């Protein structure tokens, strides 16, 4: 897809993931790589410079939200800005009238006929049975090409290779298929004069009164696609675009960004010669794929998940100053749920030593769940002041949560060990100085 643009961008992202530090120098390096890849793909230089400036300034100035690491943050920024380059929102084809009339336009060789076949297949899968009308009287083989294509797919076709009057064909086709849900009109891509072609399109437009006009643009023409899209979108406000031949063409990135810049909605893309090589165009999904980051959306969701910052910070402070309660531990477990296994999180903290690691290694997700159940059988007073939990309370908690007393004792032991280690860590970190402490906390919280 898009020649080696995808490969270059994916490699850049891999490089970013592998970098040991994320600082000004590394961010600049990544931005340079992205620039190079986009320029090679014929993306307009001004767009590339704007994009790099935005990525760079956001990456250097914005604080990563809680819950994501600085590295993930840079990845998210690159993703968001790249999506913006392509127009962010996915534009969809909405069949909201019957018959829904679609006028297909495009220069000769743009892939118009092939794309009509692809759209028919797409609509069939959606349960709309489209019909096609051939008004291309200019290219003798056009009707025959459509006939073969539609026959294979069981799509009704109206056309007459002996009739040279496009307007008459459109009228008759309209009559023939007036009860259909969707009618697609294929038009000529060439004429003696460009002016003649435009005049014919105008007249066809009057007769058909389409619900939507779709311009098919060959993606291999790169940035030039912008001019076509601009002229088209100025002529009609019901226009949308399909960009074809994005498989293998290095210039496709240029075509897509140039079209997006005009504001004309790109609804589908063609990615090969076969009838199924056709996709709804969704900038978010497209960019995720281009960057080789399948789960970028979940990464962003993770950043948006509202890990309550106040609770997180209070818990951390309590941990480090020895005020750590069972309530804090419960909060910590809740937070860790969204951060991955406990040991992994604890291993991130420098100087944790073997003691806690040994404890932590015994902590499985199941164990955390059972601890949470036991803690839910405790009173608030017990949670905030665990010292008061003596034998009779242990019995009650065990009964209430359906576990053995030894399990409750194990939980308390775990709590006491964690508290002790955390307190020691807090003292040591005092000597490390504020900066190191903050970094460590950042690492811990943002893991």
Ligand X SMILES: Nc1nc2c(ncn2[C@@H]2O[C@H](COP(=O)(O)OP(=O)(O)OP(=O)(O)O)[C@@H](O)[C@H]2O)c(=O)[nH]1
**Single residue of 114, 257, 401, 429 touching ligand X by CB under 6 A:** 114
Q: Is 3 in the site for ligand X (CB under 6 A)?
A: no
Q: Is 153 in the site for ligand X (CB under 6 A)?
A: no
Q: Is there a contact between 129 and 179 (Cβ–Cβ < 8 Å)?
A: no
**Single residue of 273, 295, 301, 365 touching ligand X by CB under 6 A:** 273
Q: Is 271 in the site for ligand X (CB under 6 A)?
A: yes
Distance (Å, whole) CA 219 – CA 244: 5
Helix (H, G, I), strand (E, B) or coil at 279: strand
**Single residue of 12, 44, 76, 113 touching ligand X by CB under 6 A:** 113
- When the beta carbons of 58 and 190 are compared against ligand X, the nearer one is 190
* Site track for ligand X across 388-427, x = CB under 6 A: ----------------------------------------
Distance (Å, whole) CA 15 – CA 12: 5
**Single residue of 245, 330, 419, 447 touching ligand X by CB under 6 A:** 245
From the list 80-88, 165-173, 242-250, 291-299, the region that binds ligand X by CB under 6 A is 242-250
Query: Structure tokens of 167?
Result: 């307007």
Binding residue per annotation — 236? Answer: no
Helix (H, G, I), strand (E, B) or coil at 240: strand
# of chain residues touching ligand X (CB under 6 A): 19
Query: Structure tokens of 15?
Result: 């490089």
Helix (H) / strand (E) element for 241: namely strand 239-244
Specify the pairing of strand 212-218 against strand 130-134: unpaired
Binding residue per annotation — 108? Answer: yes
Distance (Å, whole) CA 310 – CA 129: 56
106: left (phi over 0), alpha (psi -120 to 50) or beta: left
Q: Is 112 in the site for ligand X (CB under 6 A)?
A: yes
Binding residue per annotation — 244? Answer: yes
Q: Is there a contact between 397 and 377 (Cβ–Cβ < 8 Å)?
A: yes
Q: Is there a contact between 358 and 347 (Cβ–Cβ < 8 Å)?
A: no
Q: Is 111 in the site for ligand X (CB under 6 A)?
A: yes
Distance (Å, whole) CA 219 – CA 200: 25
Q: Is there a contact between 360 and 343 (Cβ–Cβ < 8 Å)?
A: yes
Binding residue per annotation — 189? Answer: yes
| Best CA proximity match to 256, nearest among 288, 231, 225 | 225
Q: Is 108 in the site for ligand X (CB under 6 A)?
A: yes
Binding residue per annotation — 423? Answer: no
Return the residues of window 118-147 that contact ligand X according to CB under 6 A: 139, 142
- When the beta carbons of 163 and 347 are compared against ligand X, the nearer one is 163
From the list 8-16, 45-53, 272-280, 399-407, the region that binds ligand X by CB under 6 A is 272-280
Binding site membership: which residues?
106-113, 186-190, 244-247
Binding site membership for GTP: which residues?
106-113, 186-190, 244-247
Please give the residue ranges that form the binding site for ligand X (CB under 6 A). Answer: 106, 108-114, 139, 142, 189, 244-245, 247, 270-273, 277
């Amino acid at each position: 897809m898009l020649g080696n643009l995808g490969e270059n961008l994916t490699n850049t992202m891999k490089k970013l993931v592998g970098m040991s530090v994320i600082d000004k120098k590394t961010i600049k390096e990544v931005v340079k790589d992205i620039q190079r890849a986009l320029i090679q793909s014929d993306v307009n230089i001004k767009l590339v410079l704007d994009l790099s400036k935005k990525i760079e300034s956001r990456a250097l100035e914005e604080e990563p939200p809680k819950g994501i690491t600085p590295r993930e943050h840079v990845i998210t920024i690159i993703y968001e800005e790249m999506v913006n380059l392509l127009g962010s929102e996915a534009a969809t084809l909405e069949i909201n009238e019957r018959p829904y009339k679609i006028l297909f336009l495009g220069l000769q060789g743009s892939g118009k006929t092939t794309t009509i076949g692809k759209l028919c297949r797409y609509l069939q899968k959606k349960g709309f049975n489209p019909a096609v009308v051939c008004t291309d009287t200019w290219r003798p083989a056009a009707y025959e090409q459509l006939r073969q294509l539609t026959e294979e797919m069981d799509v009704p076709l109206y056309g007459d290779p002996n009739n040279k009057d496009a307007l008459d064909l459109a009228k008759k086709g309209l009559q023939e298929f007036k009860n259909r849900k969707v009618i697609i009109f294929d038009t000529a891509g060439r004429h003696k004069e460009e002016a003649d072609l435009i005049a014919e399109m105008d007249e066809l437009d009057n007769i058909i009164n389409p619900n939507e006009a779709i311009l098919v643009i060959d993606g291999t023409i790169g940035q030039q696609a912008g001019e076509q899209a601009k002229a088209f979108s100025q002529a009609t406000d019901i226009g949308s675009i399909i960009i074809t031949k994005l498989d293998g063409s290095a210039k496709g990135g240029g075509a897509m960004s140039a079209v997006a810049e005009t504001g004309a909605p790109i609804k589908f893309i063609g990615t090969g010669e076969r009838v199924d090589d056709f996709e709804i165009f969704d900038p978010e999904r497209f960019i995720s794929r281009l960057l080789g980051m399948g789960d970028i959306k979940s990464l962003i969701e993770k950043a948006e998940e509202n890990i309550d910052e106040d609770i997180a910070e209070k818990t951390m402070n309590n941990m480090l100053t020895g005020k750590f309660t069972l309530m804090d531990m419960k909060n910590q477990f809740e937070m860790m749920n969204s951060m991955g296994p406990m040991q992994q999180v604890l291993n991130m903290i420098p100087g944790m030593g073997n003691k806690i690691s040994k404890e932590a290694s015994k902590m499985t997700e199941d164990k955390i769940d059972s601890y949470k159940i036991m803690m839910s059988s405790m009173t608030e007073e017990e949670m905030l002041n665990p010292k008061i939990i003596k034998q009779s309370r242990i019995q009650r908690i065990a009964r209430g949560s359906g576990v053995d007393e030894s399990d409750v004792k194990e939980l308390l032991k775990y709590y006491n060990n964690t508290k002790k280690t955390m307190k020691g860590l807090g003292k040591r970190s005092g000597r490390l100085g504020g900066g190191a402490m903050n970094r460590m906390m950042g690492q811990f919280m943002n893991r």
